[in-house]
């Protein structure tokens, strides 16, 4: 029984860690964002593209695999015909590209906003280096190691 309690405690510790909570929030927001993008593609982007291409409704583009002739995708599905819905696939690809672009722009902006490391202060600037031969700390300007007498120019 003690082993189970330890396992449950480990699971609790894992589940309440900040990263797991952040991941859950990200998934929930991502699902909501997907609905927004789907609406953007289906309701805003695709109608003008369909109009430019001769009033084509991409979501209604399909091949009836049984060879039948159906007026719409809904009619084919109602008749139980197997269909290959390439218009829905086109909409999905466009949705993916929009989501990928938005995520790219957001990540790019977040990376720009990250605090840049401050330049080193004089007291943080290194004044020594390690000899590549004997691993002794020596001044930065040294061209010969005082401990092993190696020429440091040769190590470069």
What are 2-40's pLDDT values in tens digits? 556 688 888 777 777 767 777 888 889 888 888 888 888
Single out the residue of 64, 101, 71 nearest to residue 86, CA to CA. 64
Count of helices and strands (H, E) across the chain? 5, 4
pTM of the model: 0.49
CA 73 vs. chain centroid, Å, equals 34
Confidence at residue 81, expressed as pLDDT on a 0 to 100 scale: 92
Residues 6+ apart with CB under 8 A from 133: 145, 148, 150, 155
In DSSP notation, 63-118 reads EETT----SSHHHHHHTT--EE-HHHHHHHHHHHHHHHHHHHHHHHHHHHHSPPPP
DSSP 121: P
Confidence at residue 137, expressed as pLDDT on a 0 to 100 scale: 92
DSSP 43: I
Confidence at residue 4, expressed as pLDDT on a 0 to 100 scale: 61
Residues 6+ apart with CB under 8 A from 91: 41, 42, 46, 58, 59
Classify residue 150 by burial, with Cβ atoms within 10 Å: 0-12, 13-18, 19+: middle
Confidence at residue 82, expressed as pLDDT on a 0 to 100 scale: 93
Confidence at residue 112, expressed as pLDDT on a 0 to 100 scale: 84
Confidence at residue 11, expressed as pLDDT on a 0 to 100 scale: 78
Residues 6+ apart with CB under 8 A from 52: none
Confidence at residue 83, expressed as pLDDT on a 0 to 100 scale: 92
Tens digit of pLDDT at every position of the chain (156 positions) = 555 668 888 877 777 776 777 788 888 988 888 888 888 877 888 788 778 877 777 778 889 999 888 988 889 989 999 999 988 898 888 878 887 887 788 888 888 887 777 766 667 778 889 999 899 999 988 888 998 988 887 544
Confidence at residue 120, expressed as pLDDT on a 0 to 100 scale: 65
Single out the residue of 111, 69, 61 nearest to residue 88, CA to CA. 61
């Amino acid at each position: 029984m003690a082993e189970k309690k330890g396992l449950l405690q480990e699971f609790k510790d894992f589940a309440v860690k900040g990263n797991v909570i952040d991941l859950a929030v990200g998934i929930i927001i991502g699902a909501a964002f997907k609905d927004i993008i789907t609406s953007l593609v289906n309701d805003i982007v695709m109608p003008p593209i369909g109009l430019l291409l001769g009033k084509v409704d991409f979501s209604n583009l399909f091949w009836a695999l049984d060879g039948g002739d159906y007026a719409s995708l809904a009619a084919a599905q109602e008749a139980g015909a197997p269909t290959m819905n390439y218009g829905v696939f086109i909409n999905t690809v466009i949705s993916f590209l929009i989501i990928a672009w938005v995520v790219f722009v957001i990540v790019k902006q977040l990376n720009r906003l990250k605090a840049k490391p401050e330049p080193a202060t004089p007291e943080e600037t290194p004044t020594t280096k390690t000899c590549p031969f004997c691993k002794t700390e020596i001044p930065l300007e040294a061209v010969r190691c005082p401990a092993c007498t190696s020429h440091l120019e040769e190590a470069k």
